[in-house]
Structures are given as C-alpha cells and as structure tokens.
C-alpha cells in the first residue's frame, strides 16, 4: 500500500520518521529477527506508510547545549573504551610473543 501522491525522495525523512523506523527495527530485533532483516522490515513498513511518525522533542537553547554535551561525552567515552581495548590487545600480543620466545629457549 504505497503512500498516495507521495514519491520517495532521497534524504527527505524527518527526525520523527527516523525515530519511528529506529523504534520499529528495535521492536523487531526484540522479537528475534536478525538486525539486518529487522531494519529492512522497518524501512519497508515506512515506505508503505505503515509507520506513524514518532514524537521527537525540539530542543533549543540551554536544553540543546546540554544534550550536545551529553552526546560529546558518549563519543569521548566510546573513544576511551576503544583506546583501552586496543591497548589490552597490544599487551596480550606482547605477552604471547614473550611466551613464544621463552618456549623457544627451552
């Protein structure tokens, strides 16, 4: 059931549309669908007009700057986690190399 009088235009989704798609995909994954299939189903439902747009609050001023600071903290913490993970992998590789050297000496 395609939308009447609407033609798909790339990049024309609103934040509300994106949120509705994301929520439907998460719901489908919760029901046991693999992520790729859940996302495909959500986009098909959006394309067919089966999803109603979600309500996305519009932030302005202080609220927006607070939200942006939280987003920046998440990005930083993810980067910190990735750096710690890489450092742990490097330490592990060094330990394995040392163990091999010791084993070769015997």
Q: What is the pLDDT of residue 25?
A: 92
pLDDT tens for each residue of 40-61: 999 998 888 888 876 666 667 8
What does each C-alpha distance from 95 to 69, 77, 90, 92 come to in angstroms? 39, 27, 9, 5
Q: What is the pLDDT of residue 37?
A: 93
Global model pTM greater than 0.95: no
Q: What is the pLDDT of residue 55?
A: 64
SS3 for the chain is: CCCCCCCCCCCCCCHHHHHHHHHHHHHHHHCCCCHHHHHHHHHHHHHCCCCCCCCCCCCCHHHHHHHHHHHHHHHHHHHHHHHHHHHHHHHHHHHHHHHHHHHHHC
Walk along the chain (106 residues) in steps of 10 and give the mean pLDDT of each run: 52 79 90 92 88 70 80 75 83 86 80
Q: What is the pLDDT of residue 41?
A: 92
Q: What is the pLDDT of residue 33?
A: 92
Domain boundaries in the chain? 1-56, 59-106
């Amino acid at each position: 059931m395609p939308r009447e009088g609407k033609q798909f235009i790339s990049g024309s989704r609103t934040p509300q549309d994106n949120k509705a798609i994301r929520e439907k995909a998460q719901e489908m994954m919760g029901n046991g669908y693999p992520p790729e299939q859940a996302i495909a189903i959500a986009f098909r439902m959006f394309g067919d007009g089966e999803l109603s747009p979600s309500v996305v609050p519009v932030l302005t001023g202080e609220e927006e700057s607070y939200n942006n600071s939280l987003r920046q903290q998440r990005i930083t913490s993810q980067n910190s986690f990735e750096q710690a993970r890489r450092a742990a992998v490097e330490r592990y590789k060094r330990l394995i190399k040392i163990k091999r050297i010791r084993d070769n000496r015997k």
